[in-house]
Amino acid sequence: MPETRRADLAALDNTDPLRSFRAKFDLPDGVIYLDGNSLGCLPKATAARVSDVVTREWGQDLIRSWNKNDWINAPGRVGDKIADLIGANAGEVVVGDTTSINVFKCLSATLQLKSDRHILLSETGNFPTDAYMMQGLERLTNGRVEQRLVPPDAIFEALDDDIAVLLLTHTNYKSGRVRDMKAITATAHAKDIPVIWDLSHSCGAMPVHLNDCNADFAVGCGYKYLNGGPGAPAFLFAAKRHQEHVYPALSGWLGHKQPFAFDDFYNPAPGIDRFQCGTPGILGCAALEVGVDLMREADMEQIRAKSSALGALFIRLVNEQCEDFSFQLACPKNAEQRGSQVSFHHEEGYAIMQALIARGVIGDFRAPDILRFGFAPLYISYANIWDAVEILKEVMTSGEWDQEKFKQKAAVT
């Protein structure tokens, strides 16, 4: 392979079919932001939209906005838009609450579908909130249901007749490993086990085909690749075929068939609306909708192709430029098995990441030793990757990381 030069990458950026999207984000000067997998960047349209919601919709129209400005339908409207991004149909996705709460909703729903089974199955090393919600259910049911965590590669053999539900993350938050949704769902279904897919690190980063995979339930995050803002509302998918068979455990007033009848007894709304609970956060929904609208302008296959290329380029350049510095790849090398992120082990990972951030290359650190770099294809360029690796090399060569380590120790003592 001939040596890559920065000029080659700038040329690649000039023919990138997604190149027009970068100008639609407000990106800070002097920063190469490789953390869009944790908190996505600010779309330029968001500030004006949120301001309009605050000053006109809330300030002037006040309570009338629930109808006049359609606040009441925001969870379903934004849900329908997200549905398009994840291979679901209108009426199968609703926005609201957090990913954690939505995991709980899905888990308790599957328990009703499989009331004769008692094991909640997931894997070790998953993003922990998914496992924690299982542990909460275990306590709440006094042990009637039990969590079982097995290593990632032992999932298939763990699918036995006791399993009430399998909960898996599609793209692992730390390793970036992507699961084969179709094969796993089919295997679980063959044993009559419903599957909940956590799409937090997939939605907006790659094509997802929930209905094509015959998925049962899914949840996902609004503030990562969907660029919905800090703590944006999450989303929940429930396949049409399951919706009428589930009485939500988190049965809030907005999930009622007639919320404004104020009846003493809960009667679930038809369809996906029963998965609503309390009053939706309208500022958060509004910001999320802008991010989702922007994402819907992009071609998801192009996003995936660019994401894979950015990741491959980063791996290759780190191997070339930083071969003396003991970085060990911590994600799949094969782009098909890798999400829109690359991670490396390094025993000084925390200090190195602090030094990088001080230089404006923002990724993040995940214990115990993982440096994680995310590539949001709508606003990250090939030249960014070159520059980031150059800075990584400088940080390692100059010993800046070691100074960060020193500062860190000084701060602790």
Is 260 near its own copies (CB under 8 A)? yes
Q: By rule CB under 8 A, what string of x and - marks binding of each residue 286-325 to its own copies?
A: -x--------------------------------------
Residue 127 annotated as catalytic: yes
Out of 81, 105, 117, 224, which one is annotated catalytic? 224
* Residue 234 in the binding site for its own copies (CB under 8 A): yes
Q: Which of 97, 198, 273, 364 is labelled catalytic?
A: 198
For its own copies, the binding residue among 83, 131, 208, 210 (CB under 8 A) is 131
Q: Is 264 a binder of its own copies (CB under 8 A)?
A: yes
Write out the binding residues for its own copies, residues 192-231 only, by CB under 8 A: 223, 229-231
Stretch that binds its own copies, among 85-93, 152-160, 249-257, 321-329 (CB under 8 A): 249-257
Of 276 and 308, nearer to its own copies (C-beta) is 276
Q: Is 223 a residue of the active site?
A: yes
Q: State the nearest-atom distance from the C-beta of 309 to its own copies, in Å.
A: 24
Note whether 144 binds its own copies by CB under 8 A: yes
Of residues 2-21, those binding its own copies (CB under 8 A): none
Q: Is 314 a catalytic residue?
A: no
Question: CA geometry: angle at 153 spanning 155 and 99, to 5°?
Answer: 60
Query: Within positions 48 to 77, which residues make up the interface with its own copies, using CB under 8 A?
Result: 50-51, 54-55, 57-65, 71
One character per residue 334-373, x = contact with its own copies (rule: CB under 8 A): -----------------------x----x-x-xx------
> Residues 148 to 177: which contact its own copies by CB under 8 A?
149, 174
* 282 interacts with its own copies by CB under 8 A: yes
Figure out which of the listed residues 87, 248, 339, 377 binds its own copies, where binding follows CB under 8 A: 248
Site string for its own copies, 90-119 (x = CB under 8 A): -------xxxxx--x---x--xx--x----
| Known catalytic residue at 198 | yes
Active site residues: 127, 198, 223-224, 372
